[in-house]
A and B are shown apart, each in its own frame.
Chain A
């Protein structure tokens, strides 16, 4: 752009060469005409002044060469029309005046040209600066729009997650930043501007103030992160649960500049936790009632189961007394019999403890458990019940079975329900009655336990309904056993399902996950 401006001015005014020289001729002719008119009206002869004007005009508008041409032309015209008899010295003087004037005009025109060039250059520069500025402004407003959008998204995310963000320069320090959500969570009016630290503190529940002061002071002293739960008292008296987290920002020399962090409203989350806890308790109560109901049905069999070792103990004690009261007492035999008494009394006590632990209502306790052992214990308790209906019990237990993290009593409750259902299904069938209990490893670190019977099978067309609450085929059943069993298995991360056996009976299977870090 600059280049073309320069070229334009170097070439002189952008008019044709004919016009430029024409201007010289016309302007000198005009000077001649005016002078002749002046003479006609008897006025003083002014050709010199007119000729200088013509030369100046030509220089200004047509450039240097036509200007010089006008000067020469003026000199010739003057010599020809005015004072033809003037002395050579006078003529030279006139010509000299025209020449000097022409040179002067040459300089003036050059100066003018340079000035105009500079103005054009400056104008071009300014135009470009202006364009750049406009582009810059456009870019900035786009960035600003993007920032506004991103800030809106962030504010929305904060609102949705009830998480506010803040910056605070300790101590005693001012709050430097306090996001919109912070105002909402803490119960402050956004119109009040950035809250002071004391205002924040006053909105904390009085019982929590001392504790969080301690936490913050310790963190500031050690330049460490802090995290605490606290309660907020809103202006309307509502109490909210919140959690705050702060991260220290240090400068290059390790000095604390400020803390940045978050405030999260956890009221709903805590409420949901409480609800879940209540639900767990209700489920535990129901499971307990169900266990007690089943144990009630088993009273006769359990009594028999306890009676066996007691009978054995009484036998042993009688034997012992007999060896001692013989005419020739045999202490060795007596001791052996007495040891049998101890063994059997312990066995009776073990059975009673087992019954008691199943009947006990307690909190759910998860610990490493050997499923095979749980199966064996349950079979021991239910053996008399199976005998009562001439049912033989067969087990296929995988000796390499890994342990599971489980509530033993609850898993035994599931086993008890399934075994009792199996016995129930076989009570009235006129063929071989066999209950098979198997444990094995399945895919994905799962254990699978199955309880199969050769009974009546699942109720036709109601395979899915057996897990519904209050569904029962027994005259005295409450229909919660399978329902509770399924919820117990699922709460352990497993699954419980049923299928018909071919040609008869049903199989109930459930899975339990074994923790990765626990070996077999």
Chain B
């Protein structure tokens, strides 16, 4: 299965309501349109993975983790540029994520300029 990036939709996956919501607002203020999902399973089940031009995901979540989501998407040949945001700045995870093709690995809380620059870079890949 392959996916087609026809528009510039950004997908957000985070189990924390307020982080998810404020991130969406931040992207809106920067002129991006986004969709937010409370879990990796919800995102995979929505069918939006084919539209997403960029994925911003938390690593530690109940159920499927961010890394597992990345692996799953890779397995489905759906290589969405992925930015990990996490409170657990685990170096090992950082390397694994980048090896699997992650664009960036940002510790929470992150600088909005850095995030937006990273997103722009990802979208222009």
CB neighbours of B63 from chain A (8 A) = 390, 392
Chain B nearest CB from A348 CB (Å) reads 10
Is the CB of B61 closer than 8 A to any CB of chain A?
yes
Say yes or no: B18 contacts A343, CB within 8 Å.
Answer: yes
Within the complex, what minimum Cβ distance (angstroms) separates B124 from chain A?
20
Number of A-B contacts (CB under 8 A): 86
The A-contacting residues of B in range 18-59, CB under 8 angstroms, are: 18-19, 21-23, 25-26, 28-30
Partner of B112, one of A322, A333, A343, A387: A322
Chain A: minimal CB distance from B103 (Å): 19
Task: Report the nearest B residue to A386, measured CB to CB.
Answer: B62
A344 CB-CB contact with B under 8 Å: yes
B5 interface residue per 8 A CB criterion: no
Complex Cα spacing A357 to B84, Å: 33
Contact flag A319-B22 (CB < 8 Å), given A304-B88, A308-B16: yes
- Whether, in the assembled complex, B108 has its beta carbon less than 8 Å from a beta carbon of chain A, the answer is yes
B29 touches A387 (CB 8 A): no
Expressed in whole angstroms, the Cα–Cα distance for A337 and B23 within the complex equals: 11
Q: Which chain B residue shows the least CB distance to A334?
A: B29
Among A310-318, A449-457, A494-502, the stretch in contact with B: A310-318
Contact of A316 among B15, B22, B61 (CB under 8 A): B22
Q: Which residues of B contact A303 (CB under 8 A)?
A: 87
Nearest A-chain residue to B107, judged by Cβ: A307
Contact across chains for A387 and B60 when beta carbons are under 8 A apart: yes
A304, A309, A323: the one within 8 Å of B18 (CB): A309
Residues B25 and A340 in contact, CB atoms below 8 Å apart: yes
Q: Is the CB of B60 within 8 A of A316?
A: no
A507 at the B interface (CB under 8 A): no
Interface size for chain A: under 10, 10 to 19, 20 to 34, or 35 or more residues?
20 to 34
Within 8 Å by CB of B19, from A315, A392, A393, lies A315
For the complex, count residues of B whose C-beta is within 8 A of A: 25
Which chain A residues (391-432) contact chain B, with CB distance < 8 Å?
A: 391-393
- Return the CB mask of A365-389 against B: 1 if under 8 Å, else 0: 0000000000000000000101110
User: Quick one: which of A339-375 are within 8 Å of B by CB?
Assistant: 340, 343-344, 347
Q: Are B26 and A307 in contact (CB under 8 A)?
A: no
Give the shortest distance, in Å, between A387 (CB) and chain B (any CB): 5
A21 CB to nearest B CB, Å: 141
- B113 to chain A minimum Cβ distance, whole angstroms, is 8
Interface string of A436-465 (1 = CB under 8 A from B): 000000000000000000000000000000
Give chain A interface residues in 108-163, CB to chain B under 8 Å. Answer: none
Cβ-based interface call for A10 (8 A)? no
Cα separation A314 to B85 with both chains bound (whole Å): 14
Q: Which 6 A-B pairs have the closest CB atoms?
A: A318-B112, A315-B22, A314-B109, A312-B18, A311-B108, A311-B109
Known pairs A304-B60, A311-B85, A319-B22 / 12 extra A-B pairs, C-beta < 8 Å: A310-B109, A311-B109, A314-B112, A315-B112, A319-B25, A319-B26, A319-B112, A322-B30, A333-B29, A343-B18, A387-B62, A388-B88
Residues of B within 8 A of A (CB): 15-16, 18-19, 21-23, 25-26, 28-30, 60-63, 65, 85, 87-88, 108-112
| Chain A to chain B contacts (Cβ below 8 Å), 16 pairs | A303-B87, A307-B108, A308-B18, A310-B109, A311-B85, A311-B109, A312-B18, A312-B21, A318-B111, A322-B29, A337-B25, A340-B21, A343-B18, A344-B18, A390-B65, A391-B62
